[in-house]
Structure 1
């Protein structure tokens, strides 16, 4: 480690190499031009070679300078990432949860005050996420995901099954009164949601919607429905509260299973954690109440 040049000199060099100017580098690092020039001289003296060709006020990277700049940029990026991971690692009473944005917004957030009232010692940190990278990197205590389970290297418990129902805004007109009338209504779709089961349950096995709008995000889909753009087939967990509040209405009583369930997943090493046990017991209870109609 004794052969490492000063960090300030490396940051100054990387900024000049990336931005192509001492002036821009100084602005980027919030230092003076002379400070940048001094750091460059320090680095070149340390290395015993010139990293730039100087043509008047213009600086051009030498071939050695170009290669060095690429490696320094990568090293600084790794340092920044490592620092961020240390800063964001959960504290003992923090519960950091990775959760699907739509599920967090429409189902979990309204229920969190109940958890806080029961367990005031914990601080909840929600991270909107879809994948498993943060879990694999140790940045999450647990996550809520949709799927069929059987994720390798993770502890998991099914939280609840999901279903689909057709909804519209109360002011949507003309509002279908029967399944047959749905065929002529404006439809909003999401590629992740298949209509096959709903159509079969509605006696419309040969019909498929021709969407007026298509969104790949459930939050956009819900907002579009609330604006009166059309009908949409949506997950019950995302629309139940809005139906109860009167901002959405269910079209027909048909409700069909969704292909994926919600799962609670966590790293194997966290199995004995008290905070994990407390949150898991709470959310499983909330999910049970929701499924049984006690907490919509």
Structure 2
């Protein structure tokens, strides 16, 4: 009977578009082009011989048939995701799958993995990095670490620490006149507006300069002497110790909250628990 089913990829595209109310947002979530999503849904509608969406400019809404199919599709995908997660029991022993944001992985986690490896030499650790938090229900991930993690079903959400931000630059930039320093701009918490809104002093920052969408790249650019940046106290600690960064001001403002998502199925795994304990111990002041 499976040969008479519509393609699973088309059902995934339909579910995402229906849930998000947008073909464009569905394409972003599934890492496809908008035309690919549109083609999948047109093919699905042709297969079912009825429309599933009302098209209204860039937004879409479900027809009655689409609403009915959405409930069936979501139930099917949830059951499939649960079945995939149950396969975890057949994984290699001592396997640990960690998801982290690129900035946290590059500037905090990876430099410390040698210590974890020495403590747990038998661990088979896999590190996945993505700007988008993982879907813990459908992806095989034991623990996710990052600054933009929201609670998810079947997971323990734990806030690790409240980060602080401050302006800093490479010593070579410190020697330049303030008016000649390039300003490095980030997004979200790493934007200079956070510094100004929370009472930070003028340290010569300008509206124009170099712009970075990823905080790890912003920190790399500052360490390479490209300009002044608003940096994370947590992520920049090693760079400061190595003399690659110097603070421009003693004042600090609130930055992102770092947290983890621990899947309930992994919460009793001794290796996962050891990793969690290691992360907590490593985050204590003075670990650098």
TM superposition score category, shorter chain reference? 0.5 to 0.7
Counterpart contact for 1:187–1:232, Cα < 8 Å: yes
Q: C-alpha deviations, 1:229-282, integer Å up to 9, x for none?
A: 210001122211111101222212122110x21111122222222122111111
Aligned residue for 1:239?
236
SS in 2 for 1:262: strand
**Distance (Å, rounded) in 2 between the aligned partners of 1:160 and 1:90:** 32
Aligned residue for 1:201?
199
1:1-296 equivalences under 5 Å are 90-147=91-148, 149-172=150-173, 174-175=175-176, 185-192=181-188, 193-199=190-196, 200-204=198-202, 209-258=206-255, 260-288=256-284, 292=285, 294-296=286-288
Aligned residue for 1:64?
none
* Residues 1:237 and 1:90: Cα distance change in structure 2 (over 3 Å): farther
Counterpart contact for 1:90–1:139, Cα < 8 Å: no
* Residues 1:172 and 1:148: Cα distance change in structure 2 (over 3 Å): same
* Residues 1:217 and 1:147: Cα distance change in structure 2 (over 3 Å): closer
Cα drift, residue 196 of structure 1:
3.8
Q: TM-score, normalised by structure 2?
A: 0.62
Q: TM-score, normalised by structure 1?
A: 0.61
SS in 2 for 1:137: coil
Counterpart contact for 2:170–2:246, Cα < 8 Å: yes
**Distance (Å, rounded) in 1 between the aligned partners of 2:118 and 2:165:** 32
SS in 1 for 2:128: strand
What RMSD over aligned residues (CA atoms) do the two structures have, in Å?
Answer: 3.5
- The unaligned stretches of length 5 or more in structure 1 are 5-66, 72-81
**Distance (Å, rounded) in 2 between the aligned partners of 1:287 and 1:90:** 29
- The unaligned stretches of length 5 or more in structure 2 are 5-42, 48-80
Q: Which has the larger radius of gyration?
A: 1
**Distance (Å, rounded) in 2 between the aligned partners of 1:277 and 1:242:** 29
Cα drift, residue 283 of structure 1:
0.6
Q: Is the deviation greater in 109-118 or in 125-134?
A: 125-134
